[in-house]
Amino acid sequence: MDGTLGDVRSHLSPSTILLIVLALQLLDVLFEKLKKRGSTSSEEIKLRQEINQLLKEANSLSTPSTFAQAAKLRRVAIAKEKELKKKREENNNDKKWSLYEKVLLASKALLYTGLCWQFWSTPVAAVPPHILQPFGRLLAWRGTDASNGYYMVGIIPWLVLTSRVSKFLLQKLFKFISF
């Protein structure tokens, strides 16, 4: 290995780029989940319990004579939900998480820029035309390869595609796991 650009390009296959983008998206989702999980304080838990108790009491008062009392309990519960929402917004502005998010965003931008710079003049993947129907021409880098008729996919459409696919896969995975 002499460290030339051609050597680097030969080691970065489309699947490797997909795995890199998937790892970045996974970090993004994990930071978001940890941020939400870490923001629950004892005050928020206490407020949530009070809201649930008020709503249970309001639901138990189902006769016409107790309608006013049930409505009053529901209004108190709504007020407490607003207070809970305000506390969560205050906790979400935590500086530590915002720093992590900024670093992750900067690393994504640098990686995507570097990949675009590296693969700008060459296609990333050759894909059969039937797979990309009806968007083959949109994703094609310089049309089709004359030798086999495959579409040559450029780096920018490949990054867009892999980031969307990885977000979709991670959403489905975390719904399945219910993390």
C-alpha distances in Å from residue 106, one per residue of 13, 111, 120, 167: 23, 9, 20, 18
pTM recorded for the entire structure? 0.57
pLDDT score of 178: 66
Residue 4 has pLDDT above 50, yes or no: no
What radius of gyration, in Å, describes the C-alpha atoms of the chain? 26
pLDDT score of 85: 82
